[in-house]
Amino acid sequence: MVLKRSSLSLFLGFLLISLIAPRSIARFVVEKNSLRVTSPDKIKGTYDSAIGNFGIPQYGGSMAGAVVYPKDNKKGCKEFDEFGISFQSKPGALPTFVLVDRGDCFFALKVWNAQKAGASAVLVADDMEEPLITMDTPAEDVSSAQYIENITIPSALIEKSFSETLKKALSNGDMVNVNLDWREAVPHPDDRVEYELWTNSNDECGVKCDMLMEFVKDFRGAAQILEKGGYTQFTPHYITWYCPQAFTLSRQCKSQCINHGRYCAPDPEQDFSSGYDGKHVVLENLRQLCVFKVANETKKPWVWWDYVTDFQIRCPMKEKKYNKECADAVIKSLGLDGKKIDKCMGDPNANSENPVLKEEQDAQVGKGTRGDVTILPTLVVNNRQYRGKLEKGAVLKALCSGFEETTEPAVCLSGDVETNECLDNNGGCWQDKIANITACRDTFRGRVCECPLVDGVQFKGDGYKNCEGKLYVFFSPFINQHKHVKCYNIAVHSFSKAWLSC
């Protein structure tokens, strides 16, 4: 007998509730960025805004724009060209930040409609006085898939009271200019970034799964370069649920869970009578965790990216290859120890805890600045949850913003990741045009001024107006029988003077 959709939804509801049942309060942290009003003077100041979980936030950077509140289509639920409205900026003018009201349609649709009309960013005004929330994409909505993937502008939710302040200033004819700033959205304490991806091996869960699979394939190369260079420490994670004790002997729990209901996943096709079951997903998730652990033991943790990518390609559910036989073939092709991986996975039928999956459930609970992981997929950078589209360039910017200033790897300073702040007017730093020497040093967040080190000679000065200095080099060559000692006075600021012996 086929389980009805209502019964399935009820059971999945129990699974979701069981995720947080052991805790008194689930802690979901809303990730924020800074919104600074620069004009008019009467409302200047810094305000909080919640980063939307779609589009591309400019992690590590900032954007300046002029706020516009449309006279028609204020909620942005329809295309703006139906009202003859365009937000395309004129040459030389600030980009347009569109303010729209919450309600009547998905957050993502509002942003998509504004983007198509030329907006560079979207501010969504909350319709009630409440703590800020994270704007997410609609779950399992097929019609939204066609535009969510194409949203490339950032968005943020702002408080109702602040939005009323903006609207009042605009109605008075004031030009409202703001800066959206993501430079402190990710902590950047040192020269290594630690990040984790909460993922899933299920390839039949709809739009989000498709986007996740595409991201893993696209980001593999960059992830492996960073890991091999010692710039990052990556850890994959997988969410599991547990089955409430009253249901552990039910057909549903037995098909969705392993270890007697301790670790569960929803049915991939949401149909208990056909296809793969949730327990197959849990087993493959466990296998991928063990692939990482075994690869990590051999000092090659980046092999996880190879396994996951190859498994997606070679073992899809649609082709009925989502099984141990196919997984073992991928493991063998990568030179991994299959016996160690099997031992790591343990016995899925045992009425006991699985130490690997138990560790994953414990890790779902928020620690420090990071909230509970409840959204799949979730990227965490330096213990701060990433918000926005999982897209190679966007994620790379988020990782680069996690390095201490001046310690970022060269990939973070490439033209497609950041803007070289030293190109215009030498970044405002000292330079010697004759010797072609500069004090400006490009960084991911901008630039720093520091006197340069050239051929072992360290300049002295403030880095802005002066980088001149002298270096005295003493050495004792056997010039003749008297062992004369020569002293060289080098004018390092110009290199135009020859050495002088003393």
Residue-level pLDDT at 486: 36
Residue-level pLDDT at 483: 38
Three-class DSSP category at 425: helix
Reported pTM: 0.81
Residue-level pLDDT at 26: 52
Residue-level pLDDT at 25: 46
Euclidean distance between CA atoms 114 and 129, whole angstroms: 24
Each domain of the chain, given as residue ranges in start order, spans 5-25+187-410, 32-181, 426-491
With bands split at pLDDT 50, 70 and 90, how would you rate the model's confidence at 374?
Answer: confident
Residue-level pLDDT at 142: 65
Q: Are strands 32-39 and 177-181 parallel, antiparallel or unpaired?
A: antiparallel
Q: How many CB atoms lie within 10 A of CB 231?
A: 20
Measured in whole angstroms, how far is the alpha carbon of residue 10 from the centre of its chain?
33
Residue-level pLDDT at 490: 36
Residue-level pLDDT at 456: 78
**CATH domain 32-181 topology:** Glucose Oxidase; domain 1 (3.50.30)
SS3 content of the chain, % helix, strand, coil (to 5): 30, 20, 50
Average pLDDT over every residue of 439-452 = 91
Average pLDDT over every residue of 408-416 = 91
Residue-level pLDDT at 148: 86
Could you report the per-residue pLDDT of 287-313, keeping only the tens digit for each? 999 999 999 999 999 999 999 999 999
- Model confidence at 139: pLDDT above 50: yes
Residue-level pLDDT at 479: 37
Average pLDDT over every residue of 453-466 = 84
Residue-level pLDDT at 248: 83
Average pLDDT across the chain, whole number: 85
Residue among 305, 188, 298 at smallest CA distance from 236: 305
- Model confidence at 502: pLDDT above 60: no
Q: What is the DSSP string of 427-471?
A: GG--EETTTTEE-EEE-SSSEEE---EETTEEP-S-SSS----EE
- Given 3.40.190.290, 3.40.50.720, 3.40.30.10, 3.20.20.150, which CATH number is that of 5-25+187-410? 3.40.30.10
Euclidean distance between CA atoms 49 and 54, whole angstroms: 15
Could you report the per-residue pLDDT of 330-346, keeping only the tens digit for each? 999 999 999 999 999 99
Residue among 308, 246, 238 at smallest CA distance from 278: 238
With bands split at pLDDT 50, 70 and 90, how would you rate the model's confidence at 176?
Answer: very high
Residue-level pLDDT at 368: 77
Q: What is the CA radius of gyration of the chain?
A: 28
Average pLDDT over every residue of 181-204 = 92
With bands split at pLDDT 50, 70 and 90, how would you rate the model's confidence at 469?
Answer: low
Could you report the per-residue pLDDT of 51-82, keeping only the tens digit for each? 998 899 999 989 999 999 999 999 999 999 99
- Model confidence at 315: pLDDT above 50: yes
Could you report the per-residue pLDDT of 145-156, keeping only the tens digit for each? 778 889 999 999
Q: What is the DSSP string of 487-502?
A: EEEEETTTS-SPP-B-
Average pLDDT over every residue of 234-240 = 95
**Distance in Å from the first CA to the final CA of the chain:** 101
Average pLDDT over every residue of 36-43 = 95
Report how far apart, in Å, the C-alpha atoms of 193 and of each of 101, 219, 223, 364 are.
37, 16, 12, 20
Residue-level pLDDT at 291: 98
Average pLDDT over every residue of 374-395 = 90
Residue among 393, 420, 493 at smallest CA distance from 56: 393
Higher pLDDT, 28 or 120: 120
Share of the chain above pLDDT 90, in %: 61
- Model confidence at 117: pLDDT above 90: yes
